[in-house]
């Protein structure tokens, strides 16, 4: 199959939590590319408590000093400086969160920060304009769409689905059948609650790797291409 015709697999993970250390090791061992949406204002000197997920797991943010090593070889994108609700803070505060988040990430990782993910998936036209103006090339929402490209609006970019979605493989198949250039999924590593979850995701990566009709792609380049080629 011509590599240009293969469906490109994109994935991104949010929040900069401690389970990302295991996730990035797993991804590296499988040769899978990924982008991580971080809130640098919440990665403090030490690991810090964030919240309890589904009353089952205490979630901790990585320490600032762990970030470079954890995410080496992956793409970094902006998830705001902290993790605010876009529609619950003032316009000025939102601008500050977006701009400060991007600057802090660029300063630390020394790579262009072009992607953005809305905290809690929340946005509207006005908050999206701020993200575009700050120098990002796309912003991911929490909406699902298959195919997810071409998107009607790069600042409200849907993904195909969440990694835990029960219809993950159906959507994967649908993306192929509709001739989509990409299949894009997302999640949080704190959602791995058991060894079974880790093993199931490892099998997901194997299945993608064993599919001759797909190839891992980089955010934001492959996404931009898929939106441009088809529009
Ligand atoms: Zn988040």
What is the rounded distance in angstroms from the CA atom of residue 97 to the CA atom of residue 105? 12
Q: Is the model more confident about 69 or about 4?
A: 69
Q: Is residue 120 pLDDT above 90, yes or no?
A: yes
Q: How confident is the model at residue 3 (pLDDT cuts 50, 70, 90)?
A: low
Length of the chain: 231
Q: How far is the CA of 153 from the centre of ligand 1 (A)?
A: 21
Q: How confident is the model at residue 96 (pLDDT cuts 50, 70, 90)?
A: very high
Q: How far is the CA of 137 from the centre of ligand 1 (A)?
A: 19
Q: How far is the CA of 185 from the centre of ligand 1 (A)?
A: 14
Place of tokens 């999206």: 128
Q: Is residue 5 pLDDT above 70, yes or no?
A: yes
What is the rounded distance in angstroms from the CA atom of residue 8 to the CA atom of residue 6? 6
Q: How far is the CA of 29 from the centre of ligand 1 (A)?
A: 25
The whole-chain average pLDDT of the chain stands at: 96
Q: How far is the CA of 176 from the centre of ligand 1 (A)?
A: 28
Place of tokens 């989509």: 180
**Looking at the chain, which runs of residues are DSSP E strands?**
7-14, 35-38, 48-53, 57-61, 75-78, 115-117, 138-144, 157-159, 161-162, 182-187, 214-216
Query: Helix 125-133 crosses helix 91-109 at what angle (to 10 degrees)?
Result: 30
Q: How confident is the model at residue 230 (pLDDT cuts 50, 70, 90)?
A: very low
What mean pLDDT do residues 104-115 have?
A: 97
Q: Is residue 231 pLDDT above 50, yes or no?
A: no
Are 116 and 153 spatial neighbours (Cβ–Cβ below 8 Å)?
no
Q: How far is the CA of 210 from the centre of ligand 1 (A)?
A: 30
Digit-coded pLDDT (tens) for 20-72: 999 999 999 999 999 999 999 999 999 999 999 999 999 999 999 999 999 99
Q: How far is the CA of 79 from the centre of ligand 1 (A)?
A: 7
What mean pLDDT do residues 135-162 have?
A: 97
Q: How confident is the model at residue 113 (pLDDT cuts 50, 70, 90)?
A: very high
Place of tokens 């996404």: 223
Q: How far is the CA of 159 from the centre of ligand 1 (A)?
A: 15
Class of domain 3-230: alpha beta
Q: How far is the CA of 73 from the centre of ligand 1 (A)?
A: 21
Q: How far is the CA of 4 from the centre of ligand 1 (A)?
A: 32
Given this model, what pLDDT does residue 2 score?
Answer: 67
Rounded-to-10 torsion of CA 196, 202, 148, 14: 70
What is the rounded distance in angstroms from the CA atom of residue 24 to the CA atom of residue 131? 27
**Looking at 35-117, which runs of residues are DSSP E strands?**
35-38, 48-53, 57-61, 75-78, 115-117
Q: Is residue 1 pLDDT above 50, yes or no?
A: yes
Which residues are within 5 Å of ligand 1 (an ion), measured at CB?
14-15, 119
**DSSP 8-class letter at 179:** T
Query: Helix 20-29 crosses helix 195-209 at what angle (to 10 degrees)?
Result: 30
């Amino acid at each position: 199959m011509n590599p240009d015709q293969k469906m490109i697999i994109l994935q991104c993970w949010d929040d900069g939590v401690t389970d990302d250390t295991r996730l990035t090791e797993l991804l590296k061992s499988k040769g899978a590319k990924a982008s991580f949406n971080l809130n640098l204002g919440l990665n403090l000197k030490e690991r810090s408590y964030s919240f309890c997920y589904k009353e089952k797991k205490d979630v901790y943010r990585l320490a600032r000093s762990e970030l470079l090593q954890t995410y080496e070889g992956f793409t970094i994108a902006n998830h705001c400086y902290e993790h605010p609700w876009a529609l619950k803070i003032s316009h000025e505060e939102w601008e500050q969160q977006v701009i400060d988040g991007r600057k802090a990430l660029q300063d630390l990782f020394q790579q262009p920060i072009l992607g953005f993910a809305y905290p809690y998936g929340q946005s509207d036209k006005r908050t999206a304009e701020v993200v575009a103006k700050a120098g990002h090339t796309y912003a991911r929402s929490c909406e699902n769409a298959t195919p997810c490209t071409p998107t009607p609006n790069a600042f409200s970019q849907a993904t195909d689905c969440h990694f835990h979605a029960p219809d993950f493989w159906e959507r994967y198949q649908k993306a192929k059948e509709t001739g989509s250039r990409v299949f894009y999924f997302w999640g949080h590593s704190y959602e791995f609650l058991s060894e079974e979850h880790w093993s199931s995701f490892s099998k997901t990566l194997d299945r993608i790797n064993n599919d001759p009709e797909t190839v891992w792609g980089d955010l934001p380049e492959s996404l931009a291409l898929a939106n441009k080629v088809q529009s």
